[in-house]
A and B are shown apart, each in its own frame.
Chain A
């Protein structure tokens, strides 16, 4: 039997490629006297690999070909909104005026950057219905942490210090409990009802004067819009709690529903999902937070504002404003500015009608795939979905699992959907096509999944040993999780 885990290609490490004396760059002799470093600071050996520039470029080029990317193919990773990142975003982010500025420059010298940040804040307010926005948080979960810190600060500022519980539905994003747990709140899980909504009776029973609030992902991780959203928010507000909105699934709502209008108190955006900035190894995230008027004073400081009004002849002077009861700074400098340029570009290129079309097409694409796959796979909460849906990765008359189906999809050239989440669906396959995919791509993906369901019955081994056509076969996930190697080694220690 051949071992499926034996890679078909082997890429040596840079240390293994090293050849003594080879260099990438040669420096000219210094034309100033060499400074003497103290002996105690010098080491006899520095075991770095010795390589030419072309060796290094080819090494990383080969490694990059093992990877899978949105630019290379369909990437329906549920709740991650892996949409195509238009290349004009990259052009704008590389403009020298944006790329070569420093966050410590005097504000008078970076008015263009500040105007962009201010305008992006205004646009995000308009899109979401919130009163104020910070651009600081580094990514989604960091935005959540910022939001829950603001919720607690709001209660404390009112002398209400006995609130220690955060309610989180079982269909929420997995980062929600982590963000609340990180500041020491007790997590209370709220079950879903049969239609995938928050169970209202369970929510009512959990609401009391010890509740900080509810963290709601809407649409939730089943891809479903809560049918009682206003009632859910009212129940939490009635007990004095606040409602946090996880904006990771905002793509489904653009231009149609504004979370601020629904009564959410605070919400994060994922610029790297909804507004197409690269994601998943393609760049850092960016998780701005929007707040309703009563929470605006608690936003992290500083936020970008107008510090001197302009008039017909002079533009306003943009600068930094300290919210009155700010929770403080949550990020060095001003957040991931390059992501803001990309999101700004994306919004500017689409306009209001274009953003609405994004949401409509994202929902249409997901429902098209759902309609094509419903007969091949069981859909546990089967109703009109929003931007994504969850199928069970099981096939009647076969013992294959979601993992096997996902691995087999790689043989057909597709990135697998999100696996095993949400936890309320057994063998979950969470599929989010996004609006950037054509009908041809959606059909090719549906055809592959339907064919895989057939293979599961006729040749289950083909799935269980997949993938077969990728540079590497099935990875040993158990070994990877159990035998952690948390430190590197220097070459001479290798094998010891």
Chain B
């Protein structure tokens, strides 16, 4: 399982990149969901999102899941490419599979990579 050390994480399996403000789903989440077949991003550039509020819904052959804002802030970009190629989220969850980009957000309160790895291990046993 891939958990980059430069990112911050939520209990609902989103990652947040403090350097770029990008948000996405973790490798753990994409593996649990299995083949993702549909992504809908429910916020638009310019929206102000609140931490914990839904930003996207993701459907796989197994399940449908909501994805939540890891931080509060203003959305400056959404990944439109994902809508036509949802499988990108499986292939490259930390790269081309990003969901939205949030400006000027405060990542305090999120887990670091070590804490998130421990959290994932607890859930698989």
User: A residues engaging B (CB < 8 A)?
Assistant: 403, 419-421, 423, 426, 477-478, 481-482
Q: How far is the CB of B95 from chain A (nearest CB, A)?
A: 20
A420 adjacent to B37 (CB under 8 Å): no
A482 adjacent to B87 (CB under 8 Å): yes
A482 adjacent to B86 (CB under 8 Å): yes
Give the residue among B62, B65, B86 with the most A Cβ atoms within 10 A. Answer: B62
Supplied contacts A423-B65, A481-B35, A481-B37, 16 more A-B pairs, CB within 8 Å: A403-B62, A419-B62, A420-B63, A421-B63, A423-B63, A426-B32, A477-B35, A477-B61, A478-B35, A478-B37, A478-B61, A481-B59, A481-B61, A482-B37, A482-B86, A482-B87
Q: How far is the CB of B110 from chain A (nearest CB, A)?
A: 21
Q: Which residues of A contact B61 (CB under 8 A)?
A: 477-478, 481
Q: Which of B52-82 contact A (CB under 8 A)?
A: 59, 61-63, 65
- Chain A residue with minimal CB distance to B37? A481
Q: How far is the CB of B39 from chain A (nearest CB, A)?
A: 11
User: B residues engaging A (CB < 8 A)?
Assistant: 32, 35, 37-38, 59, 61-63, 65, 86-87
A423 to B38, alpha carbons, bound, how many Å? 18
Q: Which residues of B contact A421 (CB under 8 A)?
A: 63
Q: Which residues of A contact B59 (CB under 8 A)?
A: 481
Q: How far is the CB of A143 from chain B (nearest CB, A)?
A: 22
- Chain B residue with minimal CB distance to A174? B64
A481 adjacent to B62 (CB under 8 Å): no
Q: Which residues of B contact A420 (CB under 8 A)?
A: 62-63
A477 to B62, alpha carbons, bound, how many Å? 10
A477 to B60, alpha carbons, bound, how many Å? 10
Q: How far is the CB of B4 from chain A (nearest CB, A)?
A: 24
Q: A481: which of B32, B38, B65 is its contact (CB, 8 Å)? A: B38
A481 to B62, alpha carbons, bound, how many Å? 11
A421 to B86, alpha carbons, bound, how many Å? 22
A294 to B33, alpha carbons, bound, how many Å? 43
A420 to B87, alpha carbons, bound, how many Å? 20
Q: Which residues of B contact A423 (CB under 8 A)?
A: 63, 65
Q: Which residues of A contact B62 (CB under 8 A)?
A: 403, 419-420
Q: Which residues of A contact B32 (CB under 8 A)?
A: 426
Q: Which residues of B contact A403 (CB under 8 A)?
A: 62
Q: How far is the CB of B68 from chain A (nearest CB, A)?
A: 11
- Chain A residue with minimal CB distance to B62? A420
Q: Which residues of B contact A477 (CB under 8 A)?
A: 35, 61
- Chain A residue with minimal CB distance to B85? A482
Q: Which residues of A contact B86 (CB under 8 A)?
A: 482
A-B contact pairs, 12 of them (CB 8 A): A419-B62, A420-B63, A421-B63, A423-B63, A423-B65, A426-B32, A477-B61, A478-B37, A481-B35, A481-B38, A481-B61, A482-B37
Q: Which residues of A contact B35 (CB under 8 A)?
A: 477-478, 481
Q: Which 9 A-B pairs give the minimum distances between C-beta atoms?
A: A481-B37, A478-B35, A420-B62, A477-B61, A482-B37, A420-B63, A423-B63, A481-B61, A478-B61
Q: How far is the CB of A399 from chain B (nearest CB, A)?
A: 12
- Chain B residue with minimal CB distance to A402? B62
Q: How far is the CB of A300 from chain B (nearest CB, A)?
A: 29
A481 to B86, alpha carbons, bound, how many Å? 11
Q: Which residues of A contact B37 (CB under 8 A)?
A: 478, 481-482
- Chain A residue with minimal CB distance to B59? A481
Q: Which residues of B contact A481 (CB under 8 A)?
A: 35, 37-38, 59, 61
Q: Which residues of B contact A426 (CB under 8 A)?
A: 32
- Chain A residue with minimal CB distance to B35? A478
Q: How far is the CB of B56 from chain A (nearest CB, A)?
A: 16
Q: How far is the CB of B58 from chain A (nearest CB, A)?
A: 12
A291 to B61, alpha carbons, bound, how many Å? 37
Q: Which residues of A contact B38 (CB under 8 A)?
A: 481
Q: How far is the CB of B109 from chain A (nearest CB, A)?
A: 19
Q: How far is the CB of B6 from chain A (nearest CB, A)?
A: 29
Q: How far is the CB of B15 from chain A (nearest CB, A)?
A: 21
A160 to B65, alpha carbons, bound, how many Å? 32
- Chain B residue with minimal CB distance to A401? B34
Q: Which residues of A contact B63 (CB under 8 A)?
A: 420-421, 423
- Chain A residue with minimal CB distance to B65? A423
A423 to B60, alpha carbons, bound, how many Å? 13
A421 to B63, alpha carbons, bound, how many Å? 8
A349 to B3, alpha carbons, bound, how many Å? 61
- Chain B residue with minimal CB distance to A423? B63
A420 to B60, alpha carbons, bound, how many Å? 11
Q: How far is the CB of A165 from chain B (nearest CB, A)?
A: 14
